[in-house]
Chain A
Amino acid sequence: MISDRLKKIICDELYLDPSTIEINDETEAPQVPGWDSLNHANIIVAIEKDYGVRFKGLEVLKCNNVGALQALVDSKVSK
Chain B
Amino acid sequence: MFGIDFSKIPNLLLFDPNDPLLFGSSLFFFLFFGLLVFYRQFAKSNNARISLLIVFSIYFYYKASGLFLLVLILNAVANFLFGREMGKAETQGGKRLFLYLSLLFNLGVLVYFKYTNFFIQLLVDIQIGQLELLDIILPFGISFYTFKSLSYILDIYLEKMEPTKSFRDYFLFVTFFPNILSGPIDRAVDFLPQINKKYFLSKRDIAFGLLLIMMGLVKKIMIADYISLNFVDRVFDSPERFTGVENLLAVYGYALQLYCDFSGYSDIAIGLAMLLGFKLMENFNYPFKAKSISDFWRRWHISLSSWLLEYVFRPLQMGLRDWRKAGNITALIITFVLVGFWHGASWAFLFWGLLHGIYMAIGLLVQGPKRKFYMKYNLQNSKVLGAIQIFITFNLVAFSFIFFRASDFSSAVNVIKQIILYFKPSVFIQFVESFTPTFVLIFLGFLFHFLPSSLHEKTTELLSKMNIFVQAIILTIVIWLVTQVQYADLQPFIYFQF
CB contacts (< 8 Å) of B317 on chain A: these are 37, 40-41
Beta-carbon contacts of A35-63 to B below 8 Å, as 1s and 0s? 01110111011000000000001101110
For residue B437, CB closer than 8 A to chain A, the reply is: no
Q: How far is the CA of A62 from the CA of B367 in the complex (A)?
A: 28
Among the stretches B4-12, B17-25, B308-316, the one at the interface with A is: B308-316
For residue B458, CB closer than 8 A to chain A, the reply is: no
For residue A24, CB closer than 8 A to chain B, the reply is: no
CB contacts (< 8 Å) of B324 on chain A: these are 41-42, 45
CB contacts (< 8 Å) of B367 on chain A: these are 38
For residue A3, CB closer than 8 A to chain B, the reply is: no
Size of the A side of the interface (Cβ < 8 Å), in residues, is 14
CB contacts (< 8 Å) of B328 on chain A: these are 38, 41
Which of A41, A57, A62 contacts B159, CB < 8 Å? A62
CB contacts (< 8 Å) of A40 on chain B: these are 314, 317
CB contacts (< 8 Å) of A60 on chain B: these are 318
For residue A31, CB closer than 8 A to chain B, the reply is: no
CB contacts (< 8 Å) of A45 on chain B: these are 321-322, 324
A38 with B322, Cβ < 8 A, contacts A61-B314, A64-B160 known: no
CB contacts (< 8 Å) of A61 on chain B: these are 158, 314-315, 318
Q: Which residue of A lies closest to B309 (CB)?
A: A37
For residue B327, CB closer than 8 A to chain A, the reply is: yes
| Contact A57 B322, beta carbon cutoff 8 Å | no
CB contacts (< 8 Å) of A37 on chain B: these are 309, 313-314, 317
CB contacts (< 8 Å) of B159 on chain A: these are 62
For residue B94, CB closer than 8 A to chain A, the reply is: no
- By secondary structure, the A interface counts as helix
Q: How far is the CA of A37 from the CA of B160 in the complex (A)?
A: 18
Q: How far is the CA of A66 from the CA of B305 in the complex (A)?
A: 24
Q: Which residue of A lies closest to B322 (CB)?
A: A45
Q: Which residue of A lies closest to B367 (CB)?
A: A38
Q: Which residue of A lies closest to B311 (CB)?
A: A61
Q: Which residue of A lies closest to B363 (CB)?
A: A38
CB contacts (< 8 Å) of B427 on chain A: these are none
CB neighbors of A among B316-363 (8 A)? 317-322, 324, 327-328
For residue B364, CB closer than 8 A to chain A, the reply is: yes
CB contacts (< 8 Å) of A42 on chain B: these are 324
For residue B294, CB closer than 8 A to chain A, the reply is: yes
| Contact B321 A41, beta carbon cutoff 8 Å | yes
Which interface class (under 10, 10 to 19, 20 to 34, 35 or more) fits B?
Answer: 10 to 19
A41 with B315, Cβ < 8 A, contacts A61-B158, A62-B158, A62-B159 known: no
Q: How many A-B residue pairs have CB under 8 A?
A: 36
CB contacts (< 8 Å) of B318 on chain A: these are 41, 44, 57, 60-61
Beta-carbon contacts of A5-16 to B below 8 Å, as 1s and 0s? 000000000000
Q: How far is the CA of A60 from the CA of B314 in the complex (A)?
A: 10
| Contact B158 A38, beta carbon cutoff 8 Å | no
Report A51 CB to chain B, min CB distance, Å. 15
CB contacts (< 8 Å) of B309 on chain A: these are 37
CB neighbors of A among B141-158 (8 A)? 158
Q: How far is the CA of A42 from the CA of B324 in the complex (A)?
A: 7
Report A10 CB to chain B, min CB distance, Å. 16
Q: How far is the CA of A36 from the CA of B160 in the complex (A)?
A: 20
Q: How far is the CA of A42 from the CA of B314 in the complex (A)?
A: 12
Q: How far is the CA of A50 from the CA of B160 in the complex (A)?
A: 28
Q: How far is the CA of A40 from the CA of B315 in the complex (A)?
A: 12
| Contact A57 B319, beta carbon cutoff 8 Å | yes
CB contacts (< 8 Å) of A38 on chain B: these are 294, 328, 364, 367
Report A5 CB to chain B, min CB distance, Å. 20
| Contact B315 A57, beta carbon cutoff 8 Å | yes
CB contacts (< 8 Å) of B315 on chain A: these are 57, 61
Report A21 CB to chain B, min CB distance, Å. 18
Q: Which residue of A lies closest to B323 (CB)?
A: A41
Q: Which residue of B lies closest to A15 (CB)?
A: B371
Report B155 CB to chain A, min CB distance, Å. 11
CB contacts (< 8 Å) of A57 on chain B: these are 315, 318-319
Q: How far is the CA of A20 from the CA of B48 in the complex (A)?
A: 54
In the complex, besides A40-B314, A41-B327, 10 extra interface pairs with C-beta distance below 8 angstroms are A36-B294, A38-B367, A40-B317, A41-B318, A41-B320, A41-B328, A45-B322, A45-B324, A57-B319, A60-B318
- Nearest first, the 6 closest Cβ-Cβ pairs linking A and B are A57-B318, A41-B321, A41-B317, A45-B321, A57-B319, A62-B159
Binding site for A on B (CB under 8 A): 158-160, 294, 309, 313-315, 317-322, 324, 327-328, 364, 367
Query: Mind listing 26 A-B residue pairs with CB under 8 Å?
Result: A37-B313, A37-B317, A38-B328, A38-B364, A38-B367, A40-B314, A40-B317, A41-B318, A41-B320, A41-B321, A41-B324, A41-B327, A41-B328, A42-B324, A44-B318, A44-B321, A45-B321, A45-B322, A57-B315, A57-B319, A61-B158, A61-B315, A61-B318, A62-B158, A62-B159, A64-B160
